[in-house]
Every structure is written in C-alpha cells, then in structure tokens.
C-alpha cells in the first residue's frame, strides 16, 4: 500500500474515506468523552510555495548584549540567526521584563529563554533560576540544551523529576548549582522536604503552562509561585491561550510583554490526512504503512498505557524495530527507548500523550494517531512532533 493512493484533501473540504468506500460523518463523538471532533480538522495539505516568505530577524546573536563566551557557545551549537520567538523575546528577558510567549512547538522557545537567563547568571553569580515543565522528558531535553550553552561557564543545573531517584537528586542539590529544572510534583516534594528553598530563586520559567494545566498541576504551580520572592522575574510559555491560561497570566505575572509567533494551530509544514478503517484490519493497515520506505522515523500515538505496550509488542512480532514509552515504564527504560529512537536504532516509537509531551526529536517523518486524541489540543501537540522548523512532515489519523 502506498500513501500516494491516499487522496489528499484541501482543508475544510469533505474528506474521502480510506480503507473503505463509505464516507464518514463530518463530526464524530469520541467514546466515553461526550466530545465531538470535526474530522475535517485532521485533513490539511502542507503549504507548498515556490518562494516562501523569509523571516528577517531584527537581530543577530552577535547583536545581543550578552557575554562573548556565551556567544561562542551559541555559534558552537550551530545557531546562526535567531528564530522569530528568539528574536522577539531575548531582548525583553535581558531587560528584566516578565514575558508571555505564545508559540507552536518547534519554534526555538527553549533557547529564547535559556540564552538571556544564562546571561543573567553570568552578570550575577548569586542568581538562582527555576524552570518548571510538565514532563520528565522535556526537563531532560532543556537540561541538555542548557549544558550546551553553558560549556566552560561554570554554570550548573539539577534536574528534579518524578520516576528518578529522589536520593540522587537530593545529593545533587547539595552541590553548587544555579538552575533547577523540574516537574511540579517532584519540585513540591523536595520543597516540602526542605531541600529546595524557593525564596532563593529570583527567576521562574513556566514552560508549556497549558499542558501543566491540562495535567492537573494548577495547585502545584500556585504552590511554587506563592513561595517565590515578590520581585521575581517570571517567564510564561504556552502553545494555546484559553480563559484559564489568561487567568494564570494575570495571577502570576506583572505587566508582562506578550510575544506571539503562533500564526495557526498547526505548522504549515505538516501534511495532515485521515485513514478510514473498515472492519478489524487496523493493525494490518498500520503495518502496510510502516514497511514503506518513506516511513523512516515514525511516532505512533495510542490512548492508553496498556494499548501502547500491546501495539509495540505486536509490531515487534511482525519484525519491525519498535520501542514504546508510557507511564508504566520507569525512567531509565523510557530514556533507553527514546535514545534508540533518536539514534535511529529503531524507526518506530509508540507513545501515550503524557509520555511524549515536549519531545524534541529531529527528523520524525510521520506522526500516526492510531487512537484518536482526547482533545483537539492534544492533536495539535501530537502532530507538532513532525514538520518542525522548516522541515516537512506528515500526520495520519486513523478513524474507525
């Protein structure tokens, strides 16, 4: 089976069915949720232009008022020109303004806050910073990015996440560090055990705040903010803006500068389509897709931990190189699975939404929604794993 036989539809038109001749309804109720999906939202051609609009930044990294050693590390990491969010946000953070950043995934927002925050530490070695994220994988990725930017600068960080040894984290917290990166629950635990003193921290970053809200971390977020000094510097990032998010911005930030580089729900580089499943051949349709050469690095989303593990086992039994990540896997197993996928030792990763949140893995060719997402926001985050930056990607959603 070739995806070329899957007729691509323009966004908003009635999609044809795949895997059978019967067309599907424009809306579908997701079992057990009472929520209706507009299925046309899962069909959207990637925008192809002969002369794409070229973003011209107002600054180059050399223009920013930052330490020359930091500039050298930025160049060494291969950064040439700032992305839109980096270009707009870095000057405001350097000036000490509270910032709200609204951006799609893959826009470079991690560097947008890390670069000016590193400069703050270089200017004031007593500065301590807290970066709060929804998942352990995102915390680890931010820490890896930070280490690249701070090579040789004497700046140290500690990652405090659930699923990893709290004893090891307590030991690391006793050593010199200026930055803590962690998930809300583990941070709260360490604060209550008096291994972290919030009053020492002059800066806090709330990254992917919308997802933390969705995951039920609102009480933990308020706990963290309440313990921070009154004059704190707050950076707030979200992919979406809802009434609840607007309320948190008013609650947590002081006269923030709002920067938005989010122009649409999904990146224009992602080609989206649906696969209509008839009968009990869902796994066979998936297998026929995965054995095609163009499906060279595929992230598959399932709804439940059990379903994800079962699907990965079935695919492995069929001779495919596959790994899985979900909440029932411990931290070390999840990191091994992610490492195998990143390094192309396996070409397929099956994941739940929570486990895959915030993953930044290069060159994912396809995202497949084997199970429907719980919300449209989850759909946006899922497919945002492909088509990152200027690269093209494809997203397929199975409808049965």
110 — phi, psi (to 5°)?
A: -60, -50
Q: How confident is the model at residue 175 (pLDDT cuts 50, 70, 90)?
A: very high
Tell me how far apart the alpha carbons of residues 295 and 55 are, in angstroms, rounded to a whole number: 30
The residue whose two tokens read 């890390």 is 114
Contacts of 56 (CB under 8 A, 6+ apart): none
Q: Identify which of 79, 89, 98 has the alpha carbon closest to the alpha carbon of residue 149.
A: 79
Q: Residues 257, 263, 266, CA angle at the centre, nearest 5°?
A: 125
| Mean pLDDT (whole number) for 165-191 | 97
**Architecture of domain 3-47+268-399 in this structure:** 3-Layer(aba) Sandwich (3.40)
Q: How confident is the model at residue 123 (pLDDT cuts 50, 70, 90)?
A: very high
Please determine, for residue 105, whether its predicted confidence score (pLDDT) is greater than 70.
Answer: no
Secondary structure letter of residue 63 according to DSSP: G
| Mean pLDDT (whole number) for 45-72 | 70
pLDDT of residue 62: 86
Q: Strand locations in the chain, DSSP E?
A: 27-29, 36-38, 99-102, 129-132, 157-160, 179-182, 203-206, 233-238, 257-260, 270-276, 298-301, 322-325, 348-351, 366-369, 393-399
Could you tell me whether strands 322-325 and 233-238 are parallel, antiparallel, or unpaired per DSSP bridges?
unpaired
Domain extent listing, the chain: 3-47+268-399, 61-260
Q: How confident is the model at residue 60 (pLDDT cuts 50, 70, 90)?
A: confident
Average pLDDT, the chain: 84
pLDDT of residue 38: 60
Q: How confident is the model at residue 57 (pLDDT cuts 50, 70, 90)?
A: confident
Tell me how far apart the alpha carbons of residues 192 and 203 are, in angstroms, rounded to a whole number: 20
Please determine, for residue 1, whether its predicted confidence score (pLDDT) is greater than 60.
Answer: no
**Architecture of domain 61-260 in this structure:** 3-Layer(aba) Sandwich (3.40)
Averaging pLDDT over each range in 189-193, 257-261, 369-373, which range is the top one? 189-193
User: Over the stretch 323-366, which tens digit does the pLDDT of each residue have?
Assistant: 999 988 888 888 899 999 999 999 999 999 876 666 778 889 99
Please determine, for residue 299, whether its predicted confidence score (pLDDT) is greater than 80.
Answer: yes
pLDDT above 70 covers a percentage of the chain that reads: 82
Based on DSSP, count helices (H) and strands (E) in the chain, helices before strands: 14, 15
Tell me how far apart the alpha carbons of residues 182 and 173 are, in angstroms, rounded to a whole number: 12
CA 302 to chain centre: 17
**Intrachain domains 3-47+268-399 and 61-260 with the same fold:** yes
pLDDT of residue 356: 64
């Amino acid at each position: 089976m070739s995806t070329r036989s899957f007729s691509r539809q323009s966004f908003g038109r009635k999609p044809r069915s795949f895997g059978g001749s019967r067309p599907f309804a424009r809306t579908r109720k997701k079992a057990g949720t009472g929520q209706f999906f507009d299925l046309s939202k899962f069909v959207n051609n990637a925008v192809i232009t002969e002369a794409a609009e070229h973003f011209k930044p107002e600054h180059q990294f050399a223009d920013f008022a930052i330490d020359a050693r930091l500039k050298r590390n930025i160049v060494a990491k291969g950064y040439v020109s700032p992305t839109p969010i980096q270009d707009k946000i870095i000057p405001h953070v350097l000036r000490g303004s509270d910032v709200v950043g609204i951006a799609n995934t893959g826009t470079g927002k991690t560097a947008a806050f890390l670069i000016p925050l590193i400069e703050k530490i270089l200017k004031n070695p007593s500065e301590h910073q807290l970066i709060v994220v929804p998942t352990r994988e995102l915390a680890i990725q931010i820490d890896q990015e930070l280490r690249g930017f701070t090579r040789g600068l004497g700046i140290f960080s500690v990652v405090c996440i659930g699923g990893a040894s709290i004893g090891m984290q307590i030991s690391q917290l006793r050593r010199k560090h200026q930055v803590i990166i962690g998930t809300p629950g583990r941070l709260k635990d360490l604060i209550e055990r008096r291994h972290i003193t919030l009053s020492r921290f002059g800066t806090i970053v709330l990254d992917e705040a919308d997802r933390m809200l969705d995951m039920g971390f609102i009480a933990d977020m308020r706990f963290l903010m309440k313990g921070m000094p009154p004059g704190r510097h707050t950076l707030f990032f979200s992919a979406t803006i809802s009434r609840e998010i607007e309320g948190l911005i008013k609650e947590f930030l002081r006269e923030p500068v709002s920067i938005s580089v989010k122009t649409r729900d999904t990146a224009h580089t992602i080609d989206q389509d649906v696969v209509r499943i008839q009968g009990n051949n869902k796994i066979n349709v998936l297998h026929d897709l995965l054995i095609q050469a163009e499906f060279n690095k595929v992230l598959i989303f399932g709804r439940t931990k059990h379903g994800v593990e079962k699907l990965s086992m079935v695919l492995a039994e069929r001779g495919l190189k596959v790994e899985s990540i979900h909440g029932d896997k411990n931290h070390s197993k999840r990191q091994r699975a992610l490492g195998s996928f990143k390094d192309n030792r396996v070409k397929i990763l099956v994941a739940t939404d929570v486990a895959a949140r915030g993953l930044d893995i290069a060159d994912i060719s396809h995202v497949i929604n084997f199970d429907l997402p719980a919300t449209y926001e989850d759909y946006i985050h899922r497919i945002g794993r492909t088509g990152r930056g200027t690269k093209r990607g494809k997203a397929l959603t199975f409808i049965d």
